[in-house]
Chains A and B, each alone.
Chain A
Amino acid sequence: MFGVLLLLFGVAVGLYAQTFPDIPGQRYGAAAFPTAIAIGFAGCGLAMLVRGLRTASGPLFTRTEWTRKPGALTSVLVTILCVVAYILLARRVGFIPMAVVILIVLFRMLRVPWWQSLLLAVLAAFACDYVFRSILLVPLPFGLMPRLPW
């Protein structure tokens, strides 16, 4: 099944690559390399397909033991949502508040006690801000936060 997916993907990439313009007067331009990759994908897809047909076909995506545990996928989803929230809000809210909120949410999800969660989240956010902004000069967004004196 995974083989079919790869095969289709390869064909799609290959077709899309044919729309890239050429370098004037040259035989190999922008499309050559993606086309080669597409052929590679299709080839791998075929190889897996052949093997899949010969042996008993497996499930579309293999799922390891833990994914069947209740709540496992939910926690991954929450983690992803945290990062999405950061991407959307960090500029307006600022690095430190966002980091504190994300840390508290994740700590709680992993059952760290409340008081520890709060303390660690604040500490970690400030430490991170200090190291990156002050020592390594990364322009982390300020947002709502007042400018820190260091």
Chain B
Amino acid sequence: MLRRSVLGLTAAGALAAVLPFTAPAMAQYPDRPLTIIVPWGAGGGTDATARIIGSVLEKELGQPVNVVNRTGGSGVVGHSAIAEAEPDGYTLGIATVEIGMMHWQGLTDLTWENYTPLALMNEDPAGVQVAADSEYDTIEALLDAIEAGEPSTFRASGTGQGGIWHLAIAGMLNDRGIDPAKVPWVPSEGAAPGLQDLVAGGVNIVPCSLVEARALIDAGRVKSLAIMSSSRADLFPDVPTLEEAVGSDWQIGAWRGIVGPSGLPEDVATRLTEALEAVYNSEEYASFMQGQGFGVRWAAGQEFADFMAQSNTALGDTMKAVGLAQ
């Protein structure tokens, strides 16, 4: 260890002697490692997305990019950590759709306005999944059965109480003029346990994204009836959009984007947006997202800000309509 330290110190000395003459651009951003804060745990989709963005961004910026998980509190903790970071461009974060939901539930005061929007990188629309042996083959038949049936005939799961997929189905029912309370929500620790319970027969509907249901759809255990998006998914082109199937324009999805704390210097934000655009267009990012089955969507700067504002209002309206907002 000592030898290592001595070597390191010598190297540092040598470097310090040479650097002033060779690198006049030392002060130029970025001159030290960056950190990307992930509000969700290692192993999840957001974590994976952040890590691939981080590893490509590293090459773009020529500085190491550390991906750091700050988990818990349904994303509140991590989102707060991003907002509270020094606005110097060295701490960024990956914001998720929950930023437009938490404050309506009264969990935090944070909204999308507490961040400098850099780039929207991904969006996965919600789908409507039922077990493969379910008697309903179309979304229309399912919705009719929900409307005609007694309350609590159907139960849905796939995320926590008031989570994004809970809103997806509640909003869909609301949009069709059905009382969302007719389909009670069974909270779960994410889509995977929800889907498992769907196959085990514990619940009837899981309105998660198609990516999350992919393995079980491929295995022939689960079928997807519709996707709550404006266009069909590349992954499952046979699944109709809600609009095609029943003429509803209800759309919702989980999105992820890179943001900084509010008040990021303009030149830093520009540099980062450029680098992120290069990441978005890179071969690695495209093939990774395609491999995972994640949808990609790009928006930068003001466009991303408008997107978040719109997402925020839509989510708020739905949550008020179904009684999840405080």
Interface flag for B35 (CB, 8 Å): yes
Q: Are A123 and B68 in contact (CB under 8 A)?
A: no
Q: Does A71 contact B (CB under 8 A)?
A: no
Q: Given A25, A123, A126, A147, which contacts B181 in the complex, CB threshold below 8 Å?
A: A25
A126-B161 contact given A24-B323, A149-B12, A149-B15, CB 8 Å threshold: no
Q: State whether the Cβ of B22 lies closer than 8 Å to any Cβ in chain A.
A: no
Q: Chain A residues near B41 (CB, 8 Å)?
A: none
CA distance A80 to B12 in the complex (A): 36
Which residue of chain B has the shortest Cβ distance to A23 in the bound complex?
Answer: B161
**Residue A16, interface by CB 8 Å:** no
> Which residue of A26, A139, A150 is within 8 Å of B35 (Cβ)?
A139
A residues near B5, Cβ cutoff 8 Å: 126
Chain B: interface size category: 10 to 19
Which of B1, B9, B11, B181 is within 8 Å of A127, CB to CB?
B1
Within 8 A of A (CB), among B144-176: 161
User: A137 contacts the other chain (Cβ, under 8 Å)?
Assistant: yes
Instruction: Convert A131-150 into 0s and 1s, putting 1 for each residue whose CB lies closer than 8 angstroms to a CB of B.
Output: 00000010100000001111
* Most chain B beta-carbon contacts within 10 A, residue among A139, A147, A149, A150: A149
Residue A33 is within 8 A (CB to CB) of chain B in the complex: no
Q: Find out whether the CB atom of A126 lies under 8 angstroms from the CB atom of B323.
A: no
Set of chain B residues within 8 Å of A20, measured between Cβ atoms: none
Contact with B along A120-132 (1 / 0, CB 8 A): 0001001100100
CB closest residue in chain A, given B91: A139
Establish whether residues B35 and A148, one from each chain, have CB atoms under 8 Å apart when the complex forms.
no
For A129, the closest partner residue in chain B by CB is B5
The residue on A at minimum CB distance from B68 is A139
Interface residues of A (CB under 8 A from B): 23-26, 123, 126-127, 130, 137, 139, 147-150
Residues of B within 8 A of A148 (CB): 8, 12
Using Cβ atoms and an 8 Å threshold, which residues of chain A touch B15?
A: 149
Main secondary structure on A side of the interface with B:
loop
Decide if B1 touches A149 in the complex (CB within 8 Å): no
Given A23-B161, A25-B184, A149-B12: A126 in contact with B1 (beta carbons within 8 A): yes
Q: B residues within 8 A CB of A150?
A: 8, 11
Question: In the complex, what distance in Å separates the CA atom of A149 from the CA atom of B32?
Answer: 11
Name the interface residues of B1-41: CB closer than 8 Å to any CB of A: 1-2, 4-5, 8-9, 11-12, 15, 32, 35
CB-CB < 8 A to A123: which residues of B?
1-2
B230 at the interface (CB under 8 A from A): no
Q: Which residues of A contact B2 (CB under 8 A)?
A: 123
**Shortest distance from the beta carbon of B35 to any chain A beta carbon, whole Å:** 6
Residues of A within 8 A of B161 (CB): 23
User: Smallest Cβ distance from B107 to chain A, in angstroms?
Assistant: 13
Which of chain A's residues has its CB closest to B10's CB?
Answer: A149
A127→B15 CA distance, assembly (Å): 22
Given contacts A23-B161, A137-B66, contact A147 B32 (CB under 8 A): yes
Give the residue name and chain of the B residue nearest to A119 (CB): B2
CB-nearest residue of chain A relative to B9? A149
Tell me, in angstroms, the Cα distance from A126 to B35 when the chains sit together: 22
Q: List 20 A-B contacts (CB under 8 A).
A: A23-B161, A24-B181, A25-B181, A26-B184, A126-B1, A126-B5, A127-B1, A137-B66, A139-B35, A139-B66, A139-B68, A147-B32, A148-B8, A149-B8, A149-B9, A149-B11, A149-B12, A149-B15, A150-B8, A150-B11
Smallest CB separation, A106 vs chain B (Å):
20
A130 to B12, CA, bound (A): 15
Which residues of chain A are near B12, meaning CB under 8 Å? 148-149
CA distance A127 to B1 in the complex (A): 6
Select from chain A the residue with minimum beta-carbon distance to B8.
A150
Cα distance A55–B93 in the bound complex, in angstroms: 60
A104 to B68, CA, bound (A): 31
- Across-interface contacts of B32 in A (CB, < 8 A): 147
Task: With both chains docked as a complex, state the minimum distance between the C-beta of B170 and any C-beta of chain A, in angstroms.
Answer: 12
Question: In the complex, which residues of chain B have a beta carbon less than 8 angstroms from the beta carbon of A127?
Answer: 1
